Amino acid sequence: MRLIDAQPRPFALDLAHAALLVIDMQRDFVEPGGFGESLGNDVSPLQAIVPTLAEVLQAWRAAGAWVVHTRESHLPDLSDCPPAKRARGAPKVRIGDPGPMGRLLVRGEPGNAIIAPLAPQPGEAEIDKPGKGAFYATDLQAQLAARGITQLVITGVTTEVCVQSTMREANDRGYECLLLSDATASYFPAFKQATLDMVIAQGGIVGWVAGSQALMKGLA
């Protein structure tokens, strides 16, 4: 066990039964011209966490532990995209429409790829998910169970949407979740902060929060 300095109390990391979950660090959310920007968002807060997340990934891999990457994406025929999701809001372009990096949020398109500095390595899991939560309509739980994973260190974007949904889904399934505060980001800094606050409120009702330096100290 490695004790990680975290809130609301130290997190006892059991590396043999822990996975690093990197949520949706794909071009569609992080780069200009993608789905995120099409919704009117400034992508710079998401780009700002890339160096930190790359450092965490490197330390995690060096410690010999497993990594799971997710991508929010839909089948090319959009049969897994509920019409209510596609119709939401009033963007200029919608899921499945062509954009500068191919069809928005469609599996296999250039914009759907995980950004190069965080590219998955052989042996790491890649989960394509049609929803916000990474457990919905995926085999994530089966993959975690097959490896005996009981703890998730959670990173990625966006904090209050796919990260928080996944963390809550994981919490309900009995996983111990540690969210890395400087390796997650939102287009809305206030929503990010609110999510961090919610996770650790009431004695850690959804889990733990730590900075990446605290995790890396524990990994060293």
Active site residues: 24, 129, 162
> Considering beta carbons, is residue 39 or 54 the nearer one to ligand C5J?
39
**104 by DSSP, 3-state: which?**
coil
Read off the tokens for 135.
């457990």
Here's the x/- map for ligand C5J, 69-88, by CB under 6 A: it reads as ---x----------------
| Minimum CB–partner distance for residue 109 and ligand C5J (Å) | 16
Could you say which residues in the range 154-213 bind ligand C5J, by CB under 6 A? 157-158, 161-162
Here's the x/- map for ligand C5J, 22-41, by CB under 6 A: it reads as --x----x------------
Go through the chain and tell me how many residues it has. Answer: 220
Q: Number of residues in contact with ligand C5J, rule: CB under 6 A?
A: 7
| Residue 45: partners with Cβ closer than 8 Å, 6 or more residues away | 185, 186, 187, 189, 192
Phi, psi dihedral angles at 113 (to 5 degrees) = -70, 150
Residue ranges binding ligand C5J (CB under 6 A): 24, 29, 72, 157-158, 161-162
